[in-house]
A and B are shown apart, each in its own frame.
Chain A
Amino acid sequence: MRPLTLGRLLTHCALLSAVLFVVVVIALKLGAVPVSLYGLGHDLLRVLFRQASQLSSEYQLIIFDIRLPRILLAIFVGASLSVAGASFQALLRNPLADPYVLGVSSGAAVGAIIALIVEPHLSLAPAVAALLTPVGAFLGAALTVTAVYFLGLRRGQIDSATLLLAGIISASFLQAIIMFFMSTLTGGNYRGIAFWMMGELQTPPPRIVSLILRIGFFLAAGVIYTTASDLNLLLAGENEAMHLGVDVRRVRLVVYIAASLLTGLAVSVSGAIGYVGLLVPHVMRLLFGSDHRILLPTAAFGGAIAVVVADTLARTVVSPAELPVGAMTAIAGAPLFLYLMRRRLA
Chain B
Amino acid sequence: MPTATDTRKTIRAVNAVTVLLLCAAIASCPSLRAQTPPANSTASPLYKEVIDEAGRTVRVPQPVQRIVSLAPSLTETIYALGLQDRLVGDTDYCDYPPDAQKKTKVGGAINPSLEQIVALRPDLVLVTKSLNLIETVNALDHLGISSYGTDPHNVREIISSTERLAGVLGVPEAGTAIGADLERHLADLQQRLNGLPSRRVLFIVWSDPLISVGKHTFIADAMRLAGASSIVDSEQDWPQMSLEEVVRLQPDFLVFAASHSEAGQNDFDVLAERPGWRGLDAVRNRRFAVISDAVNRPAPRIVSAIEDLAHQLHPEAFAAHPDDEKKIAPPPPPQTSVRPLNSASHVPALSEVCTCAL
Contact = CB atoms under 8 A, between A and B. Distances in A.
Interface of A: 6, 31-33, 47-48, 50, 52-53, 57-58, 60-62, 64-69, 76, 126, 130, 183-184, 186-189, 191-192, 195, 202-204, 207, 211, 214-215, 217-218, 222, 315, 319-324
> Which of B24, B41, B134 gathers most chain A CB within 10 Å?
B134
Nearest to B108: A321
Nearest to A130: B138
Contact of B134 (A33, A69, A192, A215): A192
B350 interface: no
Contact of A61 (B23, B38, B141): B38
A104 to B, nearest CB: 22
Contact of A58 (B38, B107, B131): B38
> Which of A58, A69, A189 gathers most chain B CB within 10 Å?
A58
23 contacts: A6-B12, A32-B116, A52-B32, A65-B142, A66-B118, A66-B143, A68-B32, A76-B27, A183-B240, A184-B236, A186-B237, A192-B134, A202-B111, A207-B31, A211-B27, A215-B27, A218-B24, A218-B27, A319-B113, A320-B105, A320-B112, A321-B111, A321-B112
B139 interface: yes
Nearest to B135: A203
Given A192-B134, A202-B114, A60 B33 contact: yes
B51 to A, nearest CB: 14
A203 B118 CA distance: 15
Interface string B130-154: 1111110011011110000000000
B269 interface: no
Nearest to A319: B113
B92 interface: yes
The 7 closest A-B pairs by CB, nearest first: A52-B34, A214-B27, A321-B107, A320-B113, A320-B107, A32-B113, A57-B38
A188 B32 contact: no
Contacts of B142: 65, 204
Contacts of B132: 188
Q: How large is the interface on B (under 10, 10 to 19, 20 to 34, 35 or more residues)?
A: 35 or more
A61 B118 contact: yes
Nearest to A54: B34
A60 B118 CA distance: 10
B30 interface: yes
Given A64-B33, A321-B107, 14 more contacts: A32-B113, A33-B116, A52-B36, A53-B36, A57-B39, A60-B38, A66-B115, A67-B115, A192-B135, A195-B110, A203-B135, A211-B28, A322-B111, A322-B113
A64 B115 contact: no
A192 B113 contact: no
A159 to B, nearest CB: 33
Contacts of B143: 61, 65-66
Contacts of B115: 31-33, 62, 66-67, 315, 320
> Which of A31, A66, A183, A207 gathers most chain B CB within 10 Å?
A66
Given A61-B38, A192-B133, A218-B24, A52 B33 contact: yes
A189 B40 CA distance: 32
A173 to B, nearest CB: 24
B131 A188 contact: yes
Given A204-B139, A218-B23, A320-B105, A65 B112 contact: no
Interface of B: 12, 20, 23-24, 27-28, 30-34, 36, 38-41, 92, 105-108, 110-116, 118-119, 121, 129-135, 138-139, 141-144, 214, 236-238, 240
A318 to B, nearest CB: 8
A126 B58 CA distance: 13
B119 A32 contact: yes
A186 B116 contact: no
A58 B105 CA distance: 17
A68 B114 CA distance: 13
Contacts of A68: 31-32
A267 B290 CA distance: 45
Contact of B33 (A31, A65, A202): A65
Contacts of A187: 237
B315 to A, nearest CB: 35
A215 B32 contact: no
